[in-house]
Amino acid sequence: MNKKRIVFILLASLTLFPIISPGIALLAGFLTSLLGFKDQKSSALTSLLLKASIVLMGFGMNLTQVVEVSSRSFWVTAMSLAFVFVSGLLLGKLLKVDKKTSLLITCGTAICGGSAIAAAAPVIHPKHHQLSFALTIVFVLNAAALFLFPLIGHHFHLSQEVFGYWAAIAIHDTSSVVGAGAAYGNEALQIATTVKLVRALWIIPVTLVLAFAYSGNKQAKIKVPWFIALFLLAIVINYLFPAADSLYSGLKFAGSRGMVLALFLIGSEVSIKDLKKAGWQSFLLGLLLWICISVASFLFLTH
């Protein structure tokens, strides 16, 4: 085993610790790529790791809460999802962004950031630079939202309830939704977390639709994303056997760290050349799409 591979493995191992955030993991992976610390064998594990992590994270979801929140927030999240997908596809064509990058950015903005992108990736099979660029855009905008949203909410004197809904609909990743909600107040945190849960569940039908759309010609057999079925099964198991709560917490933690490790591996497979292929249009697409859903949801909730 050469020295570079040893260094790569050691750096990858650090992502298993909670001190390493998803954004830092992606950046660290990209830096290892620039410095030449790559492991070609790791690329084969990335897709499997993404799928396994999503399944494990299902053990952290409460079925009763999912059903209750779904009944209250279904139409709000459905309308926001439709708005983002229509806007994303139109802007993608207008800016001449390649189809898969556009779709990944749209999925991340519409549903739940990196998790949605990770769920869609094994289905549509994007190139490494397409996947990495979509994730990078989402993480950059997430970091901005974590600080900007509470400031805007206080400036416009938004109620705890309105801010909670707004944060859940307009911020990409769950971690940033929770962070912004907590910064605004306890009621905002509770509403933001539960509504975000409903929004995240749209991963399932959207991934199934993508699986159908990317199954090839109409006579070809559709490749069912079985990891989504296992994700649902994990939620049901959590509900049926609540006594194993400590085990589920461990599995959820393993899934969340596995996702961070996968992001490190994705970043390590990207080069400056790959990012240039994505172009400035891709970043502009992500930014405009985020502004669109942020402004539209703000106006909807405050008028």
How many C-beta atoms lie closer than 10 Å to residue 220's C-beta?
Answer: 8
Residue in the structure block whose two tokens are 């050691």: 10
Higher pLDDT, 66 or 160: 160
- In this predicted structure, the answer to whether residue 70 has a pLDDT above a threshold of 90 is no
Task: Say if residues 285 and 88 touch (Cβ distance below 8 Å).
Answer: yes
Percent of the chain with pLDDT over 70: 88
Q: 178, 131, 156, 169: which is closest to 282 by C-alpha?
A: 131
Handedness of CA 278, 280, 283, 288 (dihedral sign): negative
| 297: amino acid identity, one letter | S
| Average pLDDT for 172-177 | 77
Is the pTM higher than 0.75? no
CA distance 53 to 227: 10
Domain boundaries, the chain: 54-302
Residue 50 and residue 255: Cα distance in Å, rounded? 9
Mind listing the pLDDT tens digit for each residue in 182-226? 789 888 887 887 788 778 778 888 888 888 887 664 444 445 557
Dump pLDDT digits (tens) for 252-262: 899 888 878 88
Q: Per-residue pLDDT tens for 260-275?
A: 888 788 778 766 766 6
Is the confidence at residue 62, as pLDDT, over 70?
yes
Minimal CA–CA distance to 199: which of 69, 105, 60?
69
| Residue entry with tokens 């985020």 | 290
> For 141-167, what is each residue's pLDDT tens digit?
877 887 889 999 999 999 998 999 999
Q: Which residue has the higher pLDDT, 124 or 194?
A: 124
Q: What is the pLDDT of residue 225?
A: 57
Residue 99 in contact with residue 127, Cβ under 8 Å? no
φ, ψ of residue 94 in degrees (nearest 5): -65, -40
Return the closest-CA partner of residue 206 out of 111, 76, 83.
111
Largest CA distance in the chain: 63
Record the tokens describing residue 46, joined without a space: 């990335």
Question: Do the beta carbons of residue 33 and residue 268 sit within 8 Å?
Answer: yes
Q: What are phi and psi of 185, to 5 degrees?
A: 155, 160
List the one residue out of 153, 139, 71 whose CA is nearest residue 105: 139
Looking at residue 219, what is its pLDDT? 43
Mean pLDDT of the region 46-61: 80
User: Which residue from 254, 231, 266, 221 is spatially nearest to 117, judged by alpha carbons?
Assistant: 266
Question: Which uninterrupted H or E stretch holds 220?
Answer: none
The pair of structure tokens assigned to 82 is 């439709």
Please give the C-alpha separations between residue 206 and each of 124, 238, 255, 261, in angstroms, as whole numbers: 12, 23, 21, 24
Unique residue bearing structure tokens 């459905």: 78
Q: What is the mean pLDDT of the chain?
A: 82
